[in-house]
Amino acid sequence: MAVEAGFAVGDGVFDTPLPAVPLSDPRESVGQECEAGLVAWQARLVHAEWRRACWMLETARSRADTLERWPEPDPRIIAARLGWSVTMAAARLETAQGALERLPRLRGGDV
């Protein structure tokens, strides 16, 4: 089974390296390889979603030419950059902000 090399995160978002994900066709894999591949892909997707939540929240709180952050995220920024409606951006931001505030260890620091 061909796999992508695993990589260490090292930024506090997760404590352990992500597993290598299979790049082969699952139809050509035996059952235990299918199961391992599914678990590896799920871990990768969860990690990617946490990273996106962090980037989304920081983007919505940031302003050009400064590292200072506004206390409240602006969903219009996300909507404009990703081509979403403001309603969709606000809902996604609310979910991201809520999860990151309730689970700060996953975010890698204080919120």
pLDDT of 41-55, one tens digit each?
998 888 888 889 999
| pLDDT of 34 strictly over 90 | yes
The backbone region for 108, taken as left when phi is positive above 0, alpha when psi lies in -120 to 50, beta otherwise, is left
Instruction: Kindly report, residue by residue over 64-98, the tens digit of the pLDDT.
Output: 999 999 999 999 999 999 999 999 999 999 999 88
pTM over 0.75, yes/no: no
Closest CA to 101 of 53, 45, 43: 53
pLDDT at residue 63 greater than cutoff 70: yes
Joined together, the tokens standing for residue 14 give 């997760």
